[in-house]
Amino acid sequence: MTTKSWHAHYPESFETEVPAIDFSLPDMLRQIASTYPAHPCISFYQNRMTYRELQEAVTLFSASLQQTGTKKGDRVAIMLPNCPQYIISYYGILTVGGIVTQVNPMSVERELIHLLNDSGAGTIVVLDRFYPIIKSIQKETKVNTIIVVSFQSENALSDYNFNEFLKVGGEGVSHISIEPEDVAVLQYTGGTTGVSKGVMLTHSNILSNVMQSQSFFKDSIQTGEERSLSVIPFFHVFGMNSCMNFSIYSANEMILLPRFELSEVLTTIKKEKPTLFPGVPTMYVAITNHPDAEEYGIDSIKICNSGSAPMPVELLNQFEKKTGAKILEGYGLSEASPTTHCNPAFAERKPGTVGIGLPSTDYKVVDLATGMKEVSTGDIGELIIKGPQVMKGYWNLPEETSNALRDGWLYTGDIARMDDEGYVSIVDRKKDMIIASGYNVYPREVEEVIYEHPSVQEAVVIGVPDSYRGETVKAIIVQKAGEKVTEQELVRFCHGNMSSFKVPRIIEFRDELPKTSVGKILRRALRENVI
C-alpha cells in the first residue's frame, strides 16, 4: 500500500503495514499460554483462570466436540453472556476446525430459527435460562446437541451440562489442519432486505485486525500488564475482537461481567482496578451521570475505546473530565472484523471524527451515485475500505457479497467525509440502520413484526436521537379503518416477537404516512422531522 495522508501521523517507530497471517486463532492462544502460563487471563466474580488453565479447558472442550461428532467446517453456536465458558467454547470450536456461530442471547424464537437454520448449526452452547427456548424450537432446526452452562449449580436439563461435557472426550484432540483463510466465525448482522445474514470472518481477518489494533496502540497498551474491563458482549463483533481476542493476543487479563449494570460496574472498577475499558457511549453516559463515580477509583482506567455508536463530543469531554481517562472513538463494522479507524493516542484527537485508519487499512470516500469516483476532500460520499480485516463474504449470499465487495473494496453503506489529514467523520448511514445502546436495529425487521398486528395498516420505523441510548426506536403507525390499538398493546405485541432492544420506545399514530409519487414511504423525511 502506498503512503497515505494519515500515515504522516504515525510515529517513526510505527509500521504502516502488519505482517501477513500464517497461523490460526488456536495457534495464537497456544503460543500465549506457552509464553505466559501462570499469567492471569480471566477474572469472573470470585473465579480466576490463568492462561495455562484456559488452554487446558479448551483442550478438554475440543476433545469432547470431536467425540460427539463435530468436524472441520461444522457450525457450532454460542448463546452466552460474557463468562469463562464463552471463551473456552469459542477457542474449543476453532481448535477442531469448527465455525463459531454468534447468537445474541436476547434473540426470540423467530430470530433463532432463522439464524440456526441459515448457519446449519448442529451444536449450541447455551445459558440455562435460555435452554427452554432452544428446546422448544429444536425440531425446527438442525440442532442435535445442546450444552448448558449454569453459573449457580449444575443443571441436569438435557443433553449435557458444561462441566460434564468437558469430561466426554478425555484429553486427546486429533490434530486438525487450519488455514488462515478458513472461516472462523459467522457474525450475524442485518441485511438490506431485513433478513439477518452471516458475515464470514476468517482466522486471518480476525487476527489481522487484532494485530492492527495492537500495532496502533503499542505505545499505550503494554503486553501482559493491562486489565481490560470486558462488559461489551462477546457475541458482538466489537466485544469479540477488541476485548477478548485482543486481550489474549496481548497476554492481558479480562475482567468479565455478563451485563452492564451500573452499580456492579462501578464496584468492579473499585475492586479490580482495570486499566482498559472498551465500551459504547451509553455506558460512558451512565458513569458520567453517577453522582459519586469518582469515589470508585475510576481513575485507574487510562484508555476507553468507544465504538458501535457515535460519541457525542459533549459526553466525551464530560467523561474525561470526571475520570481522567482518555476516550478514543473509533469506527468499524462486522464486515471488517470490526475495526478500521480510531482516534490515535499518539497524535491529535479530533472529537466528532472516528480518527484515522489502522495499519494496512486503505480507505476513500466515493460518490453516492456510482460508487466509482473518489470525491474531493471534505465532500460527502460513501466510505469504502480495503484491508486484511475485510470479510470473506456473506454466508450463502453471493449476490449480497458481490454488492458489498467490489474490486477488493468493502462498501460500508455509511456516508462520510474525510479531511486533508485522513480523519473521517461519519455523517449519516446510507442504510437505515438504527444503533440503540450499541445494538444494531434494522427498521424493516421491526416493521415486519408490527405489520403482523391485525390493527396495523401501515408502519414505518426510524431512529430518533436519545441522550442515553444514542438513538431510540420510533414507530409511526397508521391503523386500519375501524380498528383501535393502544401504544401499550403494540409494545406488548413487539416484546413477544422480537428482542427487547428492538422494541419501539416511542409510538406515534397518524392518519397517513408521507409517500413519493410511486407510493414509497418517505422514511428519511420522517427521520429528519421534515414532514
- Inter-residue contact 352 to 313 (CB < 8 Å): yes
Same domain membership, residue 90 and residue 228: yes
Judge whether 17 lies within some domain. no
Predicted confidence (pLDDT) per residue in 161-200, tens digit: 999 999 998 878 899 999 999 999 999 986 444 578 999 9
- Overall average pLDDT of the 460-476 stretch: 91
Q: What is the pLDDT of residues 397-415, one digit of tens each?
A: 999 999 999 999 999 999 8
Q: 81 and 189 share a domain?
A: yes
Q: Which of 354, 382, 412 finishes a domain?
A: 412
240 closest CA partner among 82, 379, 346, 110: 82
**pLDDT score recorded for residue 517:** 47
The predicted pLDDT at position 321 comes to: 85
C-beta separation of 330 from 357 below 8 A: no
pLDDT score of 192? 40
475 near 450, Cβ under 8 Å?
Answer: yes
User: 366, 381, 412: which is the final residue of a domain?
Assistant: 412
Question: Cβ(301)–Cβ(288) under 8 Å?
Answer: no
Residue 127 has pLDDT above 90, yes or no: yes
Binned at pLDDT 50, 70 and 90, residue 209 comes out as: very high
* CA end-to-end span of the chain: 46
- What pLDDT is stored for residue 175 in this prediction? 93
| Continuous H helices in 176-331 | 203-216, 237-238, 246-249, 262-272, 281-289, 313-323
- Does residue 328 sit in the same domain as residue 457? no
- Quick check: 428 pLDDT over 90? no
Residue 420 lies in a domain: no
CATH number at residue 447: 3.30.300.30
Contacts with 172 (C-beta within 8 Å, 6 or more apart), sequence order: 63
Q: Which of 119-128, 348-357, 516-525 has the lowest mean pLDDT?
A: 516-525
Q: What is the mean predicted confidence (pLDDT) over 256-278?
A: 95
Pairing relation of β-strands 409-418 and 424-429? antiparallel
pLDDT > 90 fraction of the chain, expressed in percent and rounded: 72
How far apart are the C-alpha atoms of 143 and 140, rounded to whole Å?
Answer: 9
Buried b (16+ CB within 10 A) or exposed e, 223-239: eeebbbbbbbbbbbbbb
What residue numbers bound the domain in which 443 lies?
A: 434-527
Closest by CA to 18, choosing from 216, 289, 283, 173, is 216
Degrees, nearest 5: CA angle 143-202-199: 60
Over the chain, what is the mean pLDDT? Answer: 91
Would the pLDDT of 243 be above 90?
A: yes
Query: Is 417 inside any structural domain?
Result: no
- Residue 85 domain flag: yes
Among 412, 443, 470, the domain-final residue is: 412
Give residue 157's pLDDT. Answer: 59
Which amino acid would we find at residue 312? P
Please choose, from the candidates 195, 240, 247, the residue with its C-alpha nearest in 3D space to the C-alpha of residue 336.
240
The verdict on residue 201 lying in a domain is: yes
pLDDT exceeds 90 at position 235: yes
For residues 451 and 357, state if they share a domain: no
Residue 522 near residue 531 (C-beta atoms within 8 A): yes
Q: State mean pLDDT over 211-221.
A: 94
**Mean pLDDT lowest among 44-48, 157-161, 205-209:** 157-161
The answer, yes or no, to whether residue 156 has pLDDT greater than 70, is no
CATH number at residue 61: 3.40.50.12780
Model confidence pLDDT, tens digit, residues 309-351? 777 777 788 888 888 888 899 999 999 999 999 999 999 999 8
Q: Where are the beta strands (DSSP E) in 237-380?
A: 253-256, 303-306, 326-332, 339-342, 356-357, 362-366
Both 161 and 104 in a single domain?
A: yes
At residue 193, the pLDDT reads 45
| Domain presence at residue 428 | no
Q: Say yes or no: 396 and 444 in one domain.
A: no
Whether pLDDT at 419 is above 70: yes
User: Is 200 found in the same domain as 232?
Assistant: yes
pLDDT of residue 124: 98
Task: Note whether residue 64 is domain-resident.
Answer: yes
Q: Quick check: 155 pLDDT over 60?
A: no
Q: Are residues 33 and 168 in the same domain?
A: yes
In a domain, 421, yes or no: no
Number of domains the chain contains = 2
How sure is the predictor about 72, in pLDDT bands with cuts at 50, 70 and 90?
very high
SS3 call for 378: coil
- The residue that leads in pLDDT, 444 or 453, is 453
- Same domain for 166 and 242, yes or no, is yes
What is residue 520's predicted lDDT score, i.e. its pLDDT?
Answer: 65
Same domain, 136 and 51: yes
Q: How far apart are CA 312 and CA 351, in angstroms?
A: 8
Q: What is the mean pLDDT of residues 31-60?
A: 97
Residue 530: pLDDT over 50: no
- Is the pLDDT at 99 greater than 90, yes or no? yes
Confidence at 245, pLDDT banded by 50, 70, 90? very high
State the residue for C-alpha cell 405489520. 451
Residues 150 and 208 in one domain: yes
Instruction: Label residue 15 exposed, middle or buried (CB < 10 Å: 0-12, 13-18, 19+).
Output: exposed
CB atoms within 10 A of CB 321: 9
Considering the domain architecture, whether residues 407 and 445 belong to the same structural domain is answered as no
pLDDT attached to residue 190: 61
- Tens-place pLDDT, residues 473-523: 999 999 988 899 999 999 999 999 999 999 999 999 999 988 764 456 787
